[in-house]
Every structure is written in C-alpha cells, then in structure tokens.
Amino acid sequence: MTLNSLMGSMLPAIETELLRTVSLLDDPGTQLFHEMLTYHMGWSGIGAGPDATGKRIRPLLALLTCAACDADWQPAVSAAISLELIHNFSLVHDDIQDRSDLRRGRLTVWKKWGMPQAINAGDALFILSHLALNEIDKDFPHQIVQQACKVVNKACLALSTGQFLDISYEQMADLTSEDYWRMISGKTAALLSACTQVGAILGGADGAAQESYRSFGHYLGLAFQVQDDYLGIWGDSALTGKSTESDLVAGKKSLPVLYGLSKNGQFAKRWTEGHIHAEEAGPLSELLSVEGAKLYTQNAVDQMTDLALQSLRAAEPLGDAGEALFELANMLLIRQA
Amino acid sequence: MTLNSLMGSMLPAIETELLRTVSLLDDPGTQLFHEMLTYHMGWSGIGAGPDATGKRIRPLLALLTCAACDADWQPAVSAAISLELIHNFSLVHDDIQDRSDLRRGRLTVWKKWGMPQAINAGDALFILSHLALNEIDKDFPHQIVQQACKVVNKACLALSTGQFLDISYEQMADLTSEDYWRMISGKTAALLSACTQVGAILGGADGAAQESYRSFGHYLGLAFQVQDDYLGIWGDSALTGKSTESDLVAGKKSLPVLYGLSKNGQFAKRWTEGHIHAEEAGPLSELLSVEGAKLYTQNAVDQMTDLALQSLRAAEPLGDAGEALFELANMLLIRQA
C-alpha cells in the first residue's frame, strides 16, 4: 500500500521527465528519429501504453532510496530517469544483438526501422541519459554531482562488460557458474546497484549507508536474474506444452542449465546433442529438476534475496519510502511458479 | 614547424592517456573485449601503427585551443581524449551501419568479431569517453567541468541526429543542399566544434572567445567535409581509372552530386538510371564538372575555410599554439587535387 501510494506520485514525475528529455529530439526534420524513441519508450505506435513502457523499476528504486534517506526525491528525478534511459539504450542494442523480433509483445526498433537506425536510436537514448544526468547540477552540490556521474559511468562499463561476456558465452562450451555470476553481475546487477547507490548519494546518505544501498541493488539484481532463469524453465509460460518460450528451446545458458551440465548426466547428454525442440521443454525441465537444478536454482534465488534484504536492513531506510523499498523487493522477488 | 613541435609533446600525452583509459577493460576474462578496442584504436593486431591510429585531430584541436588561451594544456588531456573516444565510438558504429569492410585499410571491428560484439565495443568506447571526461574534475572548478560536460553531450546529440539524417537520406530522392548542410553540421562539424569549444572553456576563455573557437571548429568541420566530398569525386584515388573508391560508384549523395541533381541535366539523368560502374567514374566526374559542380564545391570549401579562419582570428589565439592552430587548419584544408 505504501509502495502504491508513493508510486502514484513518483511514476508520473518519472514519465514527465522522460518525455521532456526525449523531446529534445522533437525537431522539424527529425520527427522520425523522435518517433523511434517514443515508440521504444512505449508512448507511441501500435500497442503503446502501460504494458509497453515497462515498470520503470530502476528510476523508482533510485527515488525510493533517495526518499528513504529522508530527503526530498523530486530533485533526484533527472538522475533517476537517466538510469531508465541507460536501461532502454541497452535494450535497443540487446534486441539487435540477439536478433529479437519482439520486445514486450511489440516489434523491436530494428525490426521496424532497420539495424542502422536502431543502433543510432540506442546511441541517442544513451546520450539523452547523460544530458538528463547533467541536469542534477541545478539542485545538488558539484561534489555530489561528480560522485553520482562516476557511479553511473562505472555501472555502464560493467554493463557493457557483462554484455561482452553474454555474447561470448554463446560460443563457449565449458562455462562455469562462476562465469555466470560474473556475467549477470555486469549485465543485470550493475545498473540496479547504480540506481540504489545514486539514490543514496543524492539522498545525502553517509558512506556506509551508500554501500549498503549499493549492495541491496546488487543482490536484488542477482536474485531477480536468477529468478528469471528459474521462470524461463519452470515458469508457466515456459511449460505450456507447445511453448517455445522456454530458455531450453532458446538454448540459453542460464544457471539451471549450467548446473545440469556440471552434473554430466542425462540432461547434459541431451543438451550437447543439439537444438532442443518445443515438445522436449516439459520433459527436459523435469529431468533437470530430478537432477537437482530446480532446488539449486531456487536456493540461489533465496540466498540472493536474503543478501538483498540484509543489505537493505543494514541501510536503515526510513519512513514510508523505506517500507516501500521492502515492498518493492518482495514484489520483484515473489515466487511466480 | 610550430605545429610539429607542439604535436611532438601533445601526441604522446594523448596516446598515453588513451591507452590508460582503454586499459580499464584489461581484466582477466575480458582480454578479448580489451583487444577489440586496442585493435580499433590502432595499437594491436595486423597493421597496427601510426597509419592505423588516425591523426588524433580532435584531441589535438582541443589541446591547441586550450594552449592558445594561454593556459597549460596538460590538465585538459582527459577531456581531449574523451573527444577522440567519442569519434572512435561513432566510427565503430558507422562501419556496422554502412557495412564497411575496411577502415584505414584494416578489417573493421564488426568484420573481425561480428556485429553484436562490435555494437558493444562501440558502446564501450562511448562509456570510456565519459569516464575520461569525469577525470577533469581533479584539475578544474566544478562549474567549468559541468559546462564542458554539457557541451560534449550536446555535441553527441547533434552527432546522432546527423547520423539519423545520413541513414535516412539513403532512401530519399529529393534531397536539397539545405538537407546536406544540416546533416554534415551534425555528423562532422558538431564534434569538431565541441573540441575547440571545450579547449576554450578549459583554457579559461571568456564567452566571446569560446563562441569564436566554437565557430572555428564548426566551419573547419564543414570545410573539411565538403573537401572530402570534392576529393571523393575529383581526388586522385577517385579517378585512377579502375578505382571503385569514387563516391559516384558508392552512390553517396555528397554535395557535388546534390548540385548535379539540382541542375537536372545529363548527370541527373544518368544518376537516376541506377548504380554507377567503376569505369563511368571518370567520365561522369567530368560531366559533373562541366555542369558546374566542381567549381560550386570548391567555392563551398573556400567559403567555409574563410569562415573558419575568420572565426579563428576573432578568437585571438595566442603564442605558438595560436600559430599552430592556423597551421593545422591549413594542413587539413590544403588542396589535395
């Protein structure tokens, strides 16, 4: 309830500032450029609306963290949307890299406008994220601004390192779970930890609390990704008989698969024989479960969730926003299968 | 001579700082990622060396401008290399967008490592540019840092807008020279004007001088691009009989071509009939010349060069670095055909 109420005031502020920033490209002669971004952000084109925008988890995390430090969250909105724009830049490029046709049920930018324009549209979102971040110097002392900028840029470097590993892993046979954790630390956790850390910096938290919030975002990201891996094999949409949405069919080297491969049993044997067909997804997920991967993965989600919540408690978040952060973590990490 | 002497101290400082920044990716497990960037930057792989690195014009312009404001250029090196990294990020993505196999005579990053890794390598160069720019807060007051950051980010937005236009123009029939100037203002001039403007800001120039330096970089960029267009049709390598390097063969809608199309004569007739073959490059360049495009293009180079030099004079650059800026402009804009 507390979360819903805060979201009621934060989400419109986030959306307004996102719109304002993207409208920097709204010039005569570049309407189509602007349209590519408004389409991707979920505001225009077929299927536009709340389902298309995504949940804006990253800016919410930043603003809730800022507010949980007993600070006014309004001046932090530019920084918060900067993080959402970075997330969206990475999605646009990711869709090209993975050759994904659909994102949230809609055609991806590269499918609509071609690869060259989509690369450039992703670049533009990244550039806009920096312009948004520049805006915080109106309300914060320069030292805080510089600190926030460095955290964001380092998170971006970790993000691209994670992306490098993810693309590399497609070609590699002998992946370990260590490789996996390193990849998702960059690809998923780095930006989420930047959200909570930047929120804490702008909220005036001391060094120890900043570190606790950073750690909260980090483990939240890891837990979220491992849960996503779990659902990709044992979730409803992965198991609906004819489903092609199973990560097994996609050949994704997720944590359960790496566990199965390390066991070198029946699952590993079938995996190395080549592409898994949709009708095998059910039986193979059952086999993986028997070999222990389901329990192992669920344990990993639970461990990361515990670490996230421990970190959040250590940060001693205050007031309604503090409560809302616990609610948000529980909402993201709730068992869906 | 003054330019050579200053380059002798600036270029090694630029290269050292570039190497240091790119080495942020030099970790166990990401060696290949690091290698993609060192290869692109011209430091490693087949053909590495001075021909592969490019001339580092952009950071040189920034440092010379800073020094011509009678300031120490050394603290400005991080900002200068940030601009070179932005240039290189745009080259890596440009090569994917244009499907170019070669850059400075070497295989492009996407040809060597595939499109997904190349998109990510370009992103990494862009991220590193921001980390480099962050470094200037050690030596400059925060207000100056923020001002420089905003100039750089706005230039990047103009760069991506120019790239959008360039890609769009490939599909458009009725391009005007106005469209052309708008495109190259973004794609070529924006970053060069950011180099001189940032150099002036870090050199402590007043508002009027900053504007003159910005204008110098802008017109230098326009002159350089139009000269490039001239050489793409009437330069030596475009006219060596069997050459496939002519912009006419590439189908590039450069300024001379747009002029020719606007005349609606024999050249326009042939152009609209479809792909131009290598053996036609000579005769068609002659036809374009007869129809007035060569003179028109040369006049445009001369005009932009005059405007660049006027702006530079208005900036009243000081000392050896001031002289060197005039030398650099003359070197870049010298008639090569």
pLDDT tens-digit map of A140-155: 998 999 999 999 999 9
- Tell me if A117 and B29 make a contact (CB, 8 A cut-off): no
- Tell me if A120 and B146 make a contact (CB, 8 A cut-off): no
Query: pLDDT above 70 covers what percent of chain A?
Result: 97
CATH number where A75 lies: 1.10.600.10
Q: What is the mean pLDDT of residues A230-242?
A: 78
Q: How far is CA A65 from CA A8, A31, A57, A189, A321, in A?
A: 16, 36, 12, 16, 7
Contact present, B121 and B105 (Cβ < 8 Å): no
What is the pTM (predicted TM-score) of this model? Answer: 0.96
Q: Which residues, in sequence order, are CB contacts of B182 under 8 Å at separation 6+?
A: A29, B162, B165
Element (H, E) at A102: strand A102-103
| 3-class secondary-structure state, position A98 | coil
Q: Which two tokens stand for residue B102?
A: 């070669």
Element (H, E) at A290: helix A281-290
Q: What is the mean pLDDT of residues A230-235?
A: 93
A67/A61 Cα distance (integer angstroms) = 10
- Tell me if B145 and A142 make a contact (CB, 8 A cut-off): yes
Residue A212, burial from CB neighbour count under 10 angstroms (0-12, 13-18, 19+): buried
Buried b (16+ CB within 10 A) or exposed e, A148-177: bbbbbbbbbbbbbbbbbbbbbbeeeeebee
Of A295, A55, A188, A121, nearest in space to B163 by CA: A121
* B203-221 pLDDT, tens digit each: 999 999 999 999 999 999 9
pLDDT at residue number B209: 98
Of A57, A114, A44, nearest in space to A86 by CA: A57
A307/A313 Cα distance (integer angstroms) = 10
How many inter-chain contacts (A to B, CB under 8 Å) are there?
132
Q: What is the mean pLDDT of residues B77-97?
A: 98
How many other C-beta atoms lie within 10 A of the C-beta of residue A241?
A: 8
Q: Which two tokens stand for residue A2?
A: 């507390």
Alpha helix stretches (DSSP H) within chain B: 2-22, 31-40, 50-53, 57-68, 77-97, 109-113, 115-134, 142-169, 177-184, 190-202, 207-234, 247-250, 255-263, 266-272, 281-290, 293-315, 319-333
**How far A161 CA sits from the closest chain B CA (Å)?**
7
**How far B130 CA sits from the closest chain A CA (Å)?**
7
Contact present, A218 and A189 (Cβ < 8 Å): yes
Q: Which two tokens stand for residue B240?
A: 């060596």
Amino acid identity of B212?
S
Q: How far is CA B6 from CA A36, B29, B67, B214, B327, in A?
A: 45, 39, 10, 21, 11
Domain that holds residue B278: 2-333
Contact present, B334 and B302 (Cβ < 8 Å): no
* A272-324 pLDDT, tens digit each: 999 999 999 999 999 999 999 999 999 999 999 999 999 999 999 999 999 99
- Give the closest of B30, B93, B153 to A127, CB-based: B153
| 3-class secondary-structure state, position B103 | strand
Contact present, A193 and A215 (Cβ < 8 Å): yes
Q: What does residue B108 show for φ and ψ, rounded to 5 degrees?
A: -75, 160
* ipTM of the complex as predicted: 0.96
Q: What is the mean pLDDT of residues A237-262?
A: 83
Contacts of A186 in chain B (CB under 8 A): none
The pLDDT mean for chain B works out to 95
String of DSSP letters for B28-51? TT-HHHHHHHHHHTTSSSTT-SHH
B33/B117 Cα distance (integer angstroms) = 8
pLDDT at residue number A1: 64
Q: Which residues pair with B106 in a beta bridge?
A: B103
Torsion angle (degrees, nearest 10) of CA B197, B200, B204, B210: -60
The count of domains in chain B is 1
Amino acid identity of B107?
L
**How far B192 CA sits from the closest chain A CA (Å)?**
17
Of A84, A109, A82, A119, nearest in space to B160 by CA: A119
Contacts of A161 in chain B (CB under 8 A): 25, 27, 30, 33, 124
Lowest mean pLDDT among A195-204, B14-23, B236-245, B307-316: B236-245
pLDDT band at B337 (very low <50, low <70, confident <90, very high): very low
Amino acid identity of A256?
P
* A162-192 pLDDT, tens digit each: 999 999 998 888 899 999 999 999 999 999 9
**How far A97 CA sits from the closest chain B CA (Å)?**
4
- Tell me if B156 and A32 make a contact (CB, 8 A cut-off): no
B102/B119 Cα distance (integer angstroms) = 16
Q: What does residue A153 show for φ and ψ, rounded to 5 degrees?
A: -65, -35
- Give the closest of A97, A134, A156 to B116, CB-based: A97
pLDDT band at A337 (very low <50, low <70, confident <90, very high): very low
pLDDT at residue number A243: 57
